[in-house]
A and B are shown apart, each in its own frame.
Chain A
Amino acid sequence: MNIAMDFWTWTAALLTLAILSFLWKDNPTYRAAEHLYIGVANGYSVTLIWYNVVVPNMIDPIAGAYRQVAREGMNWSVLNPFQEANFFVIIPMMVGALYITRFIPKISWMVRIPIGLTLGYYTAISIPASFEASILRQLEASIVTRAHMTMGFRPALWVFLVLIGTLSTLIYFFFSTEHRGILKPISNFGILVVMIGFGASFGLTVMARISLAIGRFVFLFKDWLGLVY
């Protein structure tokens, strides 16, 4: 046994135990750890946004432009957004600052402006990207071709099964008409396929969750208590 003597390893271990104690029952140590986590997580993201977004994209350009003006006098180039040092960034900063109006009831409608700007752009560029990746290429991959037929009986059968399974899943989720007549058996088959898929997801999720718990126990027994390896 080779127990850790480091302050932060002890902090981490005690916090791990505090949170695990919730498995026994809700208690003050768990609640304290949970509240601490929320505060620290937000403080951490404040720091990262400051150093990775605010400083390089807002403070540096403005300070650079200010120095340039002090050095060479005012000229138009400090307004050029393509230049490294510029005052132009003040405009998107002012637009971004409109987010704060959310807390001022009289002008809170202005928060929609920055939301609209980002939402519009990112929605538009996501349409062709997801259409290509999740729909067109997937449809292409479902098509049974002559090449599939030459792969042998079993692979060809599986390709057919995938096609039928995909179609019946789509029909099962197609709610615009009632599932009657020919649609009924197809959608029934569809739900079976979906259930197999969910079962597979469940089985894999078990592995994922166990991995995470293993990670914590390895920390407790190896890094903290020094019992392992």
Chain B
Amino acid sequence: MKRKLALYIMFTMAVWGGISVFIGKQTVHNFDNLLRNKLLLIVGAFAIILGLGSLIFHHTQKIKRNARYWQYSYITLGALIITSFIGLFGGVRGEGGLPTFFGGTVLGTYQGNIYTFQDKNELKLFKADPSRYAREDIALMPLPQGVSEDLSRYEKSVLLREIQLRNTSLQLQNLEIPLMISPVSGEVVPFEDDFGVSIQNIYEGILVPCGSTMFAMLAFYMCSAAYRAFRMRNLHAGVLLVSAFIVMLGQIPLITAFIPGLHDFRQWILDVPNLASKRGIMIGVGLGMAATSFKIIFGIERAWLGGGEE
């Protein structure tokens, strides 16, 4: 009965899915949008609990049992807790209650006025002492000689971006950007960019390098595998090897510059035999997937129900 209940629910949803695709009525559309954009989204969000739960369970068990390399499980659990804490309380862009920017010294705030001409395309920047002019005065005044001062390129781009992002139709803005001198370039840079522990810093400083280096190592493994295992043992392996060779040679500018026609030959391989094989596989896979989908919907394929009680 318990399995049947899940099957009925799944089948009902599948019928609705079919209706939503083939019936173009506005009420159907509206309800379908609500279901997809809100309700199912909420249900699906809880699935992460499954993943997190298994991760935490796996590592706590490892520590409990003193399994091999159990010490490292503390790193995973610690990183998970600290990252979630910083993320949840510090906010995605550092806007949360938890302060995520500290350390270093603020040079001071840049307090300058940005003058733009009536025509938005003519943007001029200059530093001015705000106490000397009222806002309106500056807006109406022509650019005073000598006040215009060359800003550093970086500063210019930061300010330009600010003015573009906030409101292009504004003619005058009083920007306050905390600035500091970069220890690297000696240029003036926005304060937050360098010293922070926001989730964005963690993303760029830990997630990006680890993730991309793991993928980058595949280049080395592939070279080693190519040297050891890519052998012309029989006709099929030979065909595979020759095809791979031509494709590789055809994408090296160093070679195609000297062997005319190689680039076109590579393109032919991709366009004709490769196309035929990929299309054949794609049609096969497509039919298989459609069949599996129908099997799931009609309750013939029940692997997703898992084992356990009836």
Q: Which A residues are within 8 Å of any B CB, using their own CB?
A: 2, 4-9, 11-13, 15-16, 19-20, 22-23, 31-51, 53-54, 57-58, 81-82, 89, 92-93, 95-100, 102-103, 108-109, 111-128, 130-131, 134-135, 138-139, 141-142, 158, 161-170, 172-173, 190-207, 209-210, 212-213, 215-216, 219
Docked-complex contact A207 and B251, CB < 8 angstroms:
yes
Number of interface residues of B (CB under 8 A): 130
Write the nearest CB–CB distance from B221 to chain A, whole angstroms. 8
Interface residues of B in 282-304 (CB under 8 A from A): 282-287, 289-290, 293-294, 296-297, 304
Q: Which of A116, A158, A210 contacts B13 (CB 8 A)?
A: A116
- Scan B197-209; emit 1 where CB is below 8 A from any A CB, else 0: 0010111111111
- Scan B14-42; emit 1 where CB is below 8 A from any A CB, else 0: 11111011100000001000111011111
* Nearest residue, chain A, Cβ from B8: A116
Q: Which of A13, A20, A51 contacts B92 (CB 8 A)?
A: A51
CB < 8 Å A-B pair total: 404
Looking at chain A's contact residues, the main secondary structure is helix
Chain A CB within 8 A of B270 CB: yes
Query: With A19-B210, A39-B80, A210-B219 given, is the CB distance from A81 to B39 under 8 Å?
Result: yes
Instruction: Give CA–CA (A143, B304) in the complex, Å.
Output: 38
Residues of A within 8 A of B212 (CB): 212, 215-216
Residues of A within 8 A of B293 (CB): 123-124, 126-127
Docked-complex contact B21 and A125, CB < 8 angstroms:
yes
Residues of B within 8 A of A118 (CB): 13, 40, 43-44
Chain A CB within 8 A of B216 CB: yes
Docked-complex contact A117 and B17, CB < 8 angstroms:
no
* Nearest residue, chain A, Cβ from B45: A53
Query: With A2-B184, A46-B87 given, is the CB distance from A117 to B280 under 8 Å?
Result: no
Chain A CB within 8 A of B140 CB: no
Q: In this complex, which of B22, B39, B195, B202 has the most chain A Cβ atoms within 10 angstroms of its Cβ?
A: B39
Write the nearest CB–CB distance from B140 to chain A, whole angstroms. 43
Query: With A121-B40, A124-B14, A124-B297 given, is the CB distance from A199 to B284 under 8 Å?
Result: no
Interface segment among B112-120, B146-154, B159-167, B237-245: the answer is B237-245
Docked-complex contact A142 and B204, CB < 8 angstroms:
no
